[in-house]
Amino acid sequence: MGEPPVALPPLVPPVHRGPRPGPLGGGRRQVGQDVRVDRRTLLCGALLLTTAACGTSSNTRKPGPGSAKPGDRLAAIADIPVGAGVLVDVATDGQLLLVRPTADVIKAFNPTCPHAGSVVNPPTKATPITCPTHHSEFDSTTGAVRSGPSPAPLKEVPITLTSQDIHLA
Ligand code: FES
């Protein structure tokens, strides 16, 4: 009656991900090891174009206060480690860099690097604010350029503090 079953070819050709190991080894993949994209991965990849499916963000936030209004709460003071900083989501569409150089000083910056628009990395106790793209460094207290190609400091965003929280001014 019907024809015998036929093995279907893979959905897509083999894909190599990440750097290949060098001639002396290294890397996490064996030489010649292929990664095939399964149906679920392919479906998730397609969904990521329009949604935050598959456990990752659609990343529609833009650096800056977004649609936040004066008085909106940005974060708890306790969430910002002394001597460091964090990127915080603001309202539904914004993102700000909050830094706390000392226990009593907190500042907010638009995390857009003035050089070419990358989002800067928050400072740590060991590193200043840094841009991952061309490695400009910014002072963690003032946002001033310390080194690198950035032509301007980070833009400070006015905030107010209550006893426990940080608000947009
Ligand atoms: S985009 Fe930040 S240094 Fe170039």
Domain boundaries of the chain, sorted by first residue? 1-59, 62-168
Taking phi first (over 0 means left), then psi (-120 to 50 degrees means alpha), and beta for anything else, what does residue 71 get? Answer: left
120 CA closest ligand 1 atom index = 2
The architecture in CATH of the region 62-168 reads: 3-layer Sandwich (2.102)
**In sequence order, what DSSP letters do the residues of 94-141 get, joined into one string?**
EEEEEEEEETTEEEEE--B-TTT-PBPBPP-SSS-EE-TTT--EE-TT
pLDDT truncated to tens, each residue of the chain (169 aa)?
455 555 554 444 444 444 444 444 333 444 444 444 444 444 434 433 333 333 344 467 999 999 999 999 999 999 999 999 999 999 999 999 999 999 999 999 999 999 999 999 999 999 999 999 999 999 999 999 999 999 999 999 999 999 999 999 9
Which residue in 15, 162, 168 sits closest to 78, CA to CA?
162
Pocket residue to mutate for ligand 1, from 109, 110, 112, 113, most atoms within 8 A of Cβ: 113
Pairing of strands 129-130, 73-76: unpaired
Question: For residue 136, which atom of ligand 1 is closest to its CA?
Answer: 3
Question: Structure pTM?
Answer: 0.67
Rg (CA), the chain: 23
- Look at ligand 1, atom 4, and give the residue with the nearest C-alpha: 134
Asked if residue 113 has its Cβ within 6 Å of ligand 1, the reply is yes
pLDDT at 60: 79
